[in-house]
Amino acid sequence: MDWNEGRERQAAPRRKRRSSLAAYGWVAASLMLLFVLGACSSSQTVFHTGSSGEESISTARVPWDYRIVEGTVGDLIGGDMTVLPDNELLPNDGNYATGDKIWTLQFMDAELTTDENQRNNIRLSSWQTIKSYKDEKSAQEDLTNLKVIVKTDVELVGVYATTHKNETRRFAVIELPTGNRIKQPIDEKRYAAMEKEKTVDVVLEEVHDFADYDLAYAKFRGWAE
């Protein structure tokens, strides 16, 4: 991959958030550590999306997360370098010397499988180092563009309550701009406020594809107050 090209793409001006979210039809929005509903759509990208062979079961590979890690340049091998402490081999694009302190951008993707009952299975990859920086500020600037927080309104499909052994639980089902639905636990006060609403304000996190900024995966991050 041409990292300079990748950086030029991800450094482009941010789009209007609501219109950009609607453009991401191929992605399946889900919430880490919370219940997820919805089917993943297909698109040919650097994260290959395919079918399991049955129309009712779909799989998608999407960008999931990024992080910045501090490291030290180890051995220089031709035009490459090792990065300590994990001894990873990277191109020495910054003309670093052994012993230099650097920061690296690491990436994680996810394979999402949705079955015929709308249940999602999420399989995360290991962290992969994709770029190095001479200073932490430059790394943070890239990270800010790759993980973008957005406030927007979405369709409220409905709210419902379940009772078991005198304990009541309440949930809201929302549909994200990508067309995917997620279920969120809510308290009694929010349940009453949402009961007759058609839309609701939410906070989303757009995780962009480093190689193609226009491709993104949206995560639900909470209710916008």
Query: Is the predicted pLDDT of residue 160 greater than 60, yes or no?
Result: yes
Q: How many CA atoms within 13 Å lie on the side-chain side of 69?
A: 19
In contact, 125 and 112? CB cutoff 8 Å: no
Specify whether 189 is located in the same domain as 125: no
Q: Is residue 36 domain-resident?
A: no
CATH number at residue 212: 2.40.50
Q: Same structural domain for residues 165 and 121? A: no
Distance, CA of 123 to CA of 212 (rounded, Å): 22
Domain end: 134, 167, 194, which one? 134
Domain boundary residue among 134, 161, 191?
Answer: 134
Tell me the pLDDT tens digit for each residue of 6-49. 444 444 444 434 444 433 433 333 433 333 333 333 333 323 33
Query: Measured between alpha carbons, how far is 28 from 178 in angstroms, rounded to an integer?
Result: 7
In a domain, residue 174? The reply is yes
Using the 3D structure, point to which of 108, 134, 160 is the last residue of a domain.
Answer: 134
What's the pLDDT score for residue 178?
65
Looking at the structure, tell me whether residues 117 and 79 fall in a common domain.
yes
pLDDT at residue 81 above 70? yes
Total of domains in the chain: 2
Q: Which DSSP category does 126 fall into? A: P
Question: What is the distance between the alpha carbons of residues 39 and 197, in angstroms, rounded to a whole number?
Answer: 24
In a domain, 78, yes or no: yes
Structural domain harbouring 67: 59-134
CA angle, 107 then 7 then 70, to 5°:
45
Residue 124 resides in a domain: yes
The structure's pTM equals 0.67
Same domain, 63 and 120: yes
Q: What is the pLDDT of residue 106?
A: 96
In this structure, the answer to whether residues 152 and 126 fall within a common structural domain is no
Q: How would residue 115 be classed by pLDDT, with cut points 50, 70 and 90?
A: confident
Residues contacting 135, CB < 8 A, separation 6+: 103
**For 137-148, what is the mean pLDDT?**
95
CB 184 within 8 A of CB 34: yes
| Residues forming a β-bridge with 47 | none
Regarding whether 91 and 66 lie in a shared domain, the answer is: yes
Residues 6+ apart with CB under 8 A from 46: 209, 211, 212
Parallel/antiparallel/unpaired status of strands 199-208 and 120-124 = unpaired
Q: Examine the pLDDT at 69 and tell me if it is beyond 90.
A: yes
Domain-located, residue 183: yes
**pLDDT for the residue numbered 215:** 86
pLDDT band at 117 (very low <50, low <70, confident <90, very high): low
Contact between 208 and 220 (Cβ < 8 Å): no
For 65, list phi and psi in degrees, rounded to 5: -165, 160
Q: Is residue 9 part of a domain?
A: no
What pLDDT does residue 2 have? Answer: 46
The pLDDT score that the predictor gives to residue 24 is: 40
The percentage of residues in the chain with a pLDDT greater than 70, rounded to a whole number, is: 72
Over the range 109-140, which residues count as b (16 or more CB within 10 Å of their CB) and which as e?
bbbbebeeeeebeeeeeebebbbbbeeeebbe
Mean per-residue pLDDT for 81-105? 95
Partners of 186 in beta bridges = 170
Q: Is the pLDDT of residue 141 over 50?
A: yes
User: What's the average model confidence in pLDDT over 121-126?
Assistant: 90
Radius of gyration of the chain (CA): 20
**Quick one: 129 and 100 in the same domain?**
yes
Evaluate whether residue 45 is within a structural domain: no
Residue 207 pLDDT greater than 80, yes or no: yes
Whether residues 101 and 76 share a domain: the answer is: yes
Q: Is a pLDDT exceeding 50 seen at residue 56?
A: yes
* Chain mean pLDDT for the chain: 79
What is the phi/psi pair of residue 22, to 5°?
Answer: -65, -25
- What would the mean pLDDT of 169-176 be, rounded to a whole number? 92
- Say yes or no: 159 and 186 in one domain: yes
Q: Note whether 190 and 160 are same-domain residues.
A: yes
Query: For residue 200, is it within any domain?
Result: yes
**Does residue 120 or residue 105 have the better pLDDT?**
105
